[in-house]
Chains A and B, each alone.
Chain A
Amino acid sequence: MSVHGVKIGLEIHCQLTSLKTKLFCGCSSDYRGKNPNMVACPVCLGIPGALPVLNEKAVDCAVMAALALNCKVSERMFFFRKNYFYPDMPKNFQISQYDRAGGVPLAVDGYLYIQAGGKQKEIRISRVHLEEDPGKLVHLGAIDESPYTLVDYNRSGIALLEIVTEPDLNSPREARIFLQKLRSILEHLGVFDGSLEGAMRCDANISLAGGTRVEIKNISSFKEVERALSFEIMRQRDMLKKGLGVKRETRHWDETRRITITLRTKEEEQDYRYFPEPDLVPIVITEDFIKEIEAKMPELPEARIKRFVEAYGLPSYDAGVLVGSKALADFFEECVKLHNKPKEISNWMMSDLLRYLYENNLEIHESKITPKHLVEMIKLIEDGVISGKIGKRILPEMVLTGRHPSQIVKEKELIKIDSREKLEEIVKKVFAENPKAVEDALADEKAAHFLVGQLMKETKGKADPQLANQIIREKLEHIKTKKVPK
């Protein structure tokens, strides 16, 4: 969509999923799939008298992330209280960080480059800081129709890294690309696993052609980002077309209905009354500590791309696609370990596999295909058991069911037909049934493709394409030479 003057800024919340406990208490961070309100303690429930104590690993992870995002890490950072009421807030204030009123967040002034419209673009990161996750709300139906609200505090207190960008993104697509890159980096650092439900959520600020800024909250995953932003741009464009202004407000993205809705019942301005958290002391980050973290940093995507190019001889574009997510890059390297044909594997992954995943809105970890199986399929083709075309055919089933390629081949009788005898039989049949095509092929060699196609149809794709081609051309030659010019 090319709407002019779109400015998008993102406020991304990533859970530090590598931590074993919550940010300020010793409750387990493994809350997914548990019954409601099972993983909570006086601290993360906001019970009177409870006090927060900072998880030391959280600072390690956060500083590492900030460095990977090219930020300036603060020498001394403070925690602040962000005061507001909401049922998912156990204390009705969130312990977070701030960059004004004497507050100093973890890190500021970073950037990431993304590839957009064939060009490299710098997206500025204004700050990175730590804060706690609130609980989860459950509604009966849509949020604005539910007669009451159910609250689960299992998630309350989980460590979040908040990353705020400047409004440098100019389309929903760019936003998605940015988020993918961010995710890849954080996953490569080992601080974050984006495959976990709800691990990355974001809010967005959008404005059109210098108009008012609207905040969109409750975007819960990558897939939702493009949808939500696209909808909102359309909505704002409509409003402007109709001559109605765009109101400066906060809107809620409703995943089910796929619309943004307004939740504010009062026209009051939110005032968070930030002040320093009295129960927590400042954190001093020394040069030595930063050097320690830098030394521990795992291979980042940029470096991995370079390595793919050098070690596997891949073109840098291909390497870039494969390192689009850590899961994908890991999958690739696993395959190469099993079967040292990086170019082959790369081709299969980049064309058919990725296309199929994209079409079905799946990520590699959501599919059932394993490196072992992909390698096996490639080997089947190399050994001549099946043709490449058959490979393409069974790939979707492998992705959806995780079944062994040889199993599928056996069951569906997809073994390649490469016996000359058999093929010659079928070629005879094809020629007999398609006399006009034969005439065309005799006149123009290129038209022989139709006949090859028919042959493949007859053999349900099992014919060895090269042999099929060869036989058909031989036969045509034969007819040519047999024909006696009148």
Chain B
Amino acid sequence: MPKLCERTANEVAKKIRDKETTTEECVLSIFERVHKVESKVHAFVTLVEEEALEKAREIDNKVSNGKPLGKLAGIAIAIKDNMCTNGIRTTCSSRMLEKFVPPYDATVIEKIKREDGIIIGKTNMDEFAMGSTTETSHFGPTHNPWDLSAVPGGSSGGSAAAVAADETFLALGSDTGGSIRCPASYCSMVGLKPTYGLVSRYGLIAYANSLEQIGPIAKSVYDCALLLSVIAGYDPRDATSVKVRSKDYTFFLKDDVKDVKVGVPKEFFGEGTSENIGKSVWDAIYKLEELGASYSEVSLPSLEYALSAYYLVAMSEASSNLARYDGLRYGYRIKSDDADWSTVYSKDRRAGFGDEVRRRIILGTYALSAGYYNKYYLKALKIRTLIRRDFEKAFKNFDVLIGPTMPTPPFKIGEKIQDPLALYMCDVLTVPANLAGLPAISIPCGFADALPIGMQITAPPFREDLILKVGYAFERNTTYKDQKPPLK
């Protein structure tokens, strides 16, 4: 009999509504699991057990009084530590914000609370979302529940690991260059990056604002669609948020991919992609064909330049977005600051930021600086246009594009951290969707030596319905969803 914490969010929500169990029991089950495995996984930076249990009791009250319940009633949710939670420390896994307590809630947090979701804590991440393995965290790395010596992916590694380890039912991550899809793939979870503009960024601590989106990480496609339905929607506080009608994305989950045209970009299966990954994903594509879809190879030649373009744009924006961290209004401040402001700022930022963050800020500053702006930043934005055009062309003939999420299976903690460029290469398959602002999901589709492999499905803007449908059909006809990591 599976424990409560091992179930999906949907199952638990139903049990609560049907009064088979109480919210308090569910939350207790979650925290029992947390206390058991957290010392091994290290998914969380901050836990709010007291508050969670209090909220649980409130919801149980609602249930017993027959009051209407929100869509997420009773469901424990973990939040990546770069989204502002009023009164709860938000650190971006950085020494710079170690003591920062936001005075407001991000819009997505407000929405979750309104739907009776229970926030249980803030999850570990790469510092300021800069990384693909959660190894740059100031608080130490998160470990992959499938193999504790392996990386969980990043930068939302804590969120993905927490869901995979049954330490939470749902989690929110953020994705700038693959930071939801990568850890979802490495932890055998479902992770979705929405279309740019679908989910409000108000309250998301910015790394690269023209590229990033908040999205769900879940145990199943249904759970993913459920959380997406809650967080999506226009927000007047975010000038880049789009006025689309709010949808119930679970409505689109049908086990039916007949006549779905799948494009397979050959650039996704290049020399950087390991053989076992390629094989798993192709098997998945054949499976979809079995289920009624058709596939064909396609080429998007500008994808070869996507990684460089991505890093140039992201680092440039980051260098500006992180300028505010100077230790004056909040953040790390050196103790003896009897020097001029410029010197003190430089010391605050040296001590507050880790190596990778400092590298990206400096490189980003360089890419924007006089004499280099055209060569690097502007050039990257032009390549971005080419990539968008390639996708538009492809979507004229295909409904979705499928390929692997990551070029390799999860590697060992410490294996690549000394080589920044090697780590950047991990993002080669995920960055195109960020540059083009397209929705993309990672669905578990296999294992290589017991290490998870994920398949990435990309669709045209605002066609989350397509990727959820295809993902759901695949999930229904395979058994990856029911597999659990060997974590005791």
Residue interface bits B194-207, CB-to-A below 8 A is 1, else 0: 00000001111110
With A101-B373, A151-B328, A265-B342 known as contacts, the answer to whether A51 contacts B323 (CB < 8 A) is: no
Question: Which one of A45, A46, A281 has the greatest number of beta carbons of chain B within 10 Å?
Answer: A46
Q: Report B-chain residues with C-beta under 8 Å of the C-beta of A280.
A: 239
Most chain B beta-carbon neighbours within 10 Å: one of A45, A151, A266, A273 = A273
Which chain A residues lie closer than 8 Å to B240 at the CB level? 51, 278-279, 281
- 0/1 string, A35-59, CB within 8 A of B gives 1: 0000000100111111111100000
Known: A42-B103, A83-B368, A93-B323. A279 touches B345 (CB 8 A): no
Contact with A along B71-83 (1 / 0, CB 8 A): 0000000000001
Task: List residues of chain B with CB within 8 A of the CB of A53.
Answer: 236-239
B340, CB-defined interface residue at 8 Å: yes
State whether A90 and B324 are in contact (beta carbons under 8 Å apart), knowing that A49-B203, A50-B202, A83-B368 are contacts in the complex.
yes
Q: Is the CB of A46 within 8 A of B329?
A: yes
Is A127's CB within 8 Å of the partner chain B?
no
Contact A48 B206 (CB under 8 A): yes
A47, A54, A86, A266 interface centre (most CB from chain B within 10 Å): A47
Question: Chain A contact residues: over half helix, strand or loop, or mixed?
Answer: loop
Is B365 located at the chain interface by the 8 A CB criterion? yes
Complex Cα distance A90/B325, Å?
9
CB neighbours of A450 from chain B (8 A): none
Question: Mask for B7-44, Cβ within 8 A of A = 1, else 0?
Answer: 00000000000000000000000000000000000000
Assuming the contacts A42-B104, A83-B323, asked whether A275 and B377 have C-beta atoms less than 8 A apart, the reply is: yes
Chain A residues near B365 (CB, 8 Å)? 273
Give the complex CA separation of A335 and B81 in angstroms.
Answer: 65
Q: How far is the CB of A45 from chain B (nearest CB, A)?
A: 6
Q: Per-residue 0/1 for B315-348: is the Cβ within 8 Å of any A Cβ (1 yes, 0 no)?
A: 0110110011010111000000000111001000
**In this assembly, does B46 line the interface, its C-beta being within 8 Å of a C-beta of chain A?**
no
How many residues from A make CB contacts under 8 Å with B? 34
Whether the Cβ atoms of B328 and A87 lie closer than 8 Å is yes
Cβ B210 vs Cβ A278 within 8 A: yes
A266 to B340, CA, bound (A): 12
Determine the distance from Cα of A53 to Cα of B209 in the docked complex, in whole angstroms: 14
CB-CB under 8 A from A50, the residues of chain B are 202-203
In Å, the complex CA distance between A184 and B237 comes to: 36
On whether the beta carbons of A49 and B102 are closer than 8 Å, the reply is yes
- B421 lies within 8 A of chain A by Cβ: no
Q: When the two chains form the complex, which single residue of A51, A93, A265, A266 contacts B238, counting CB atoms closer than 8 Å? A: A51
Please name the residue on chain A nearest to B323 by beta carbon. Answer: A92
A93 to B323, CA, bound (A): 7
Tell me if B257 is interfacial: C-beta within 8 Å of chain A.
no
CB pair B237 A91 closer than 8 Å = no
A 77-91 to B, binary, CB cutoff 8 A, 1 in contact else 0: 000010101110011
Judged by a CB distance under 8 angstroms, whether A149 is at the interface is yes
- The docked-state distance in angstroms from the alpha carbon of A87 to that of B326 is 9
Q: Is B97 part of the binding interface, using a Cβ–Cβ cutoff of 8 Å?
A: yes
CA distance A52 to B324 in the complex (A): 15
Whether B369 sits at the interface, judged by CB under 8 Å, is: yes
Task: Report the separation of the CA atoms of residues A86 and B365 in the bound assembly, to the nearest whole angstrom.
Answer: 17
The reply on A271 being an interface residue by CB < 8 A is yes
Q: Are A149 and B341 in contact (CB under 8 A)?
A: yes
Assembled-state Cα–Cα distance A46/B321 (Å): 10
Q: For residues 229 through 248 of chain B, which have their beta carbon under 8 Å from a beta carbon of chain A? A: 236-240
Whether B239 and A52, one on each chain, are in contact in the complex, defined by CB atoms closer than 8 angstroms, is yes
Residue of B nearest to A84 (CB): B323
B326, A51: Cβ atoms closer than 8 Å = no
Residue of B90, B210, B328, B330 ringed by the most chain A CB atoms within 10 A: B328
B371 → chain A closest CB, angstroms = 9
Would you call B204 and A49 a contact (CB within 8 A)?
Answer: yes
Q: Does B106 contact A (CB under 8 A)?
A: yes
The interface residues of chain B lying within 8 Å CB-to-CB of A102 are 378
Q: Which residues of A contact B368 (CB under 8 A)?
A: 83, 273, 275
- A163-188 interface code vs B (CB 8 A; 1 in, 0 out): 00000000000000000000000000
Interface centre among A50, A54, A151 (most CB of B within 10 A): A50
B320–A46 touching, CB < 8 Å: no
Complex contacts, A87 vs chain B, CB 8 Å? 328, 341
Q: How far is the CB of B172 from chain A (nearest CB, A)?
A: 13
Distance of A85 Cα from B340 Cα, bound (Å): 13
Interchain CB contact under 8 A, B205 and A92: no
A81 CA to B209 CA in the complex, in Å?
13
Cβ of B84 < 8 Å from any Cβ of A? yes
Whether B103 contacts A93 by the Cβ 8 Å rule is: no
Interface residues of B in 332-385 (CB under 8 A from A): 340-342, 345, 365, 368-370, 373, 377-378
B323 proximity list for chain A (CB < 8 A): 83, 85, 91-93
Considering the chains assembled together, what is the distance between the CA atoms of A54 and B239 in angstroms? 8
Closest CB-CB distance, A280 to chain B, in whole Å? 6
Q: How far is the CB of B231 from chain A (nearest CB, A)?
A: 15
Chain B contacts of A90 at CB under 8 A? Answer: 324, 329
Complexed CA–CA distance, A265 and B343 (Å): 11
B167, chain A: closest CB distance, angstroms: 25
Chain B residues whose C-beta falls within 8 Å of the C-beta of A86 in the assembled complex: 341
- Within the complex, the shortest CB–CB distance from A276 to chain B, in Å, comes to 9
Nearest A-chain residue to B313, judged by Cβ: A278
Contact B238 A48 (CB under 8 A): no
Q: How far is the CA of A101 from the CA of B205 in the complex (A)?
A: 27
**Which residues, 132 to 181 on A, are CB-close (under 8 Å) to B?**
149, 151, 153
Complex Cα distance A49/B205, Å? Answer: 4
Closest to A24 in B: B239
B202 touches A49 (CB 8 A): yes
Which chain A positions have C-beta within 8 A of B447? none
Contact residue among B106, B320, B341 (Cβ-Cβ distance under 8 Å from A93): B320
B370 touches A51 (CB 8 A): no
Is the beta-carbon distance between B102 and A47 smaller than 8 angstroms? yes
B362 CB, min distance to chain A CBs, angstroms: 12
Instruction: Please name all residues of chain A whose beta carbon is closer than 8 Å to the beta carbon of B100 when the two chains form the complex.
Output: 48
Measured in the bound complex, the distance between the Cα atoms of B377 and A90 in whole Å is: 25
Q: Could you say which of A45, A50, A51, A81 has the most chain B C-beta atoms within 10 Å of its C-beta?
A: A51
Decide if B324 touches A48 in the complex (CB within 8 Å). yes
Closest to B330 in A: A47
Asked if B316 and A275 sit within 8 Å, CB to CB, the answer is: yes
List A residues 88-105 near B (Cβ within 8 Å): 90-93, 101-102
Give me 17 other A-B pairs in contact (C-beta within 8 A), A51-B238, A273-B368 excluded.
A42-B104, A47-B84, A48-B92, A48-B97, A48-B205, A48-B330, A50-B203, A81-B320, A85-B323, A86-B341, A90-B329, A93-B320, A102-B378, A271-B369, A275-B368, A278-B317, A281-B240
For the complex of A and B, the 8 pairs showing the least CB-CB separation, nearest first, are A92-B323, A273-B368, A278-B210, A48-B205, A278-B209, A49-B203, A49-B84, A91-B324
A-B contact pairs, 26 of them (CB 8 A): A42-B102, A45-B329, A46-B324, A47-B103, A47-B104, A47-B330, A48-B84, A48-B205, A48-B206, A51-B201, A51-B202, A53-B238, A83-B368, A85-B323, A85-B342, A85-B345, A86-B341, A87-B328, A90-B324, A91-B324, A93-B320, A151-B328, A266-B342, A273-B368, A273-B369, A278-B240
